[in-house]
Amino acid sequence: MILVTGGAGFIGANFVLDWLASQDEPVINLDKLTYAGNPDNLSQLQADARHIFVHGDICDRALVSALLTQYQPRAIVHFAAESHVDRSIHGPGDFIRTNVDGTFSLLEATRAYLSTLDDAGKAGFRFLHVSTDEVFGTLSTTDPAFSETTPYAPNSPYSASKAASDHLVRAWHHTYGLPVLTGNCSNNYGPLQFPEKLIPLMIANALGGKPLPIYGDGQQIRDWLYVGDHCAALRRVLQAGQLGETYNIGGWNEKANLDVVHTLCDLLDELKPSTQSYRVQISFVTDRPGHDRRYAIDARKIERELGWRPQETFETGLRKTVQWYLDHQDWVRKVQSGEYQQWMSTNYAQRQEASA
């Protein structure tokens, strides 16, 4: 079996669901269930004996060690992280604790666990660390895309904390021989994403008749990766990746934020028409501090060495995503709790006033 950390969050839950849909190997799912960890994401697995959910914190080394001893997993897939740039600006401490301290704790528990395995167990074990392209910093419109050898230059508390976790994973491989793999992905989107991120936020606000807040001029460019494609890439890296290597995972879909929102509005006009185009709800607000201008992923290495390439175009993936949110409005309403409303007020009210 495998141990997944953060498997009730957006990407982690999609990974667990896809994993169990394609094979019978059981999953131990360790999640702290913070605001973004949602048990409803895993509701279809309630009666599935292959899914063992554990409510706990990766910083709790005793708990992690006990799970490793009890279940003897052959791999750890490490998703657990604080992942929202805006939240990291307002409260960086949580990001240091989870992303840095939590990864350190997990690595140390893993190192102790490996010392108890025989040679065959050690040889077959993998620690797959899931990271982000934001560790590389920002690009101009003419810079080449991020490769696996691009120097790290994080610009936000979030990306700095993820860069630190990447460095820890690398160091534990080179110093202690931990059998690690790392994936640096571009912007994920798809079902189950918490509506603080761009695409689900815009869908929720559009349907609710609220403004669609665009930071600055909306020309920040991101590479968009459908979450199902990301999960397939991670399965392939876990299966055949070379120990100690990093793999950039991207969708080959560079889009400006404003273009993404325009496309989204046009899809909603088609699938859920209103009295006027949803584009009229677009509102430009004050940009966030240190906002990176462009991310772009060069994903040729994973295609060349492991044969993975995304299956979804941005258009097909976005259509699937919009349809999922339209079909799961009860899920959206449940996650838009009092904490969510408080966060939206904290993050956007001052920006809207500043742009008026």
Q: Which residues are tagged catalytic?
A: 133-134, 158
Cα Dmax for the chain: 67
> What phi-psi label fits residue 33: left (phi over 0), alpha (psi between -120 and 50 degrees) or beta?
left
Residues contacting 165, CB < 8 A, separation 6+: 81, 99, 100, 103, 129, 131
Question: Long-range contacts: 39-47, Cβ < 8 Å, 24+?
Answer: 39/8, 40/331, 40/334, 40/335, 41/8, 41/9, 41/10, 41/13, 41/17, 41/192, 42/7, 42/8, 42/13, 42/16, 42/17, 44/17, 45/16, 45/17, 45/20
Question: Long-range contacts: 43-46, Cβ < 8 Å, 24+?
Answer: 44/17, 45/16, 45/17, 45/20
* Strands of the 254-256 sheet, one edge to the other: 187-189, 221-226, 254-256
Three-state DSSP at 103 gives helix
- Alpha carbon distance, N-terminus to C-terminus of the chain: 54
- DSSP codes, 257-272: HHHHHHHHHHHHHHHS
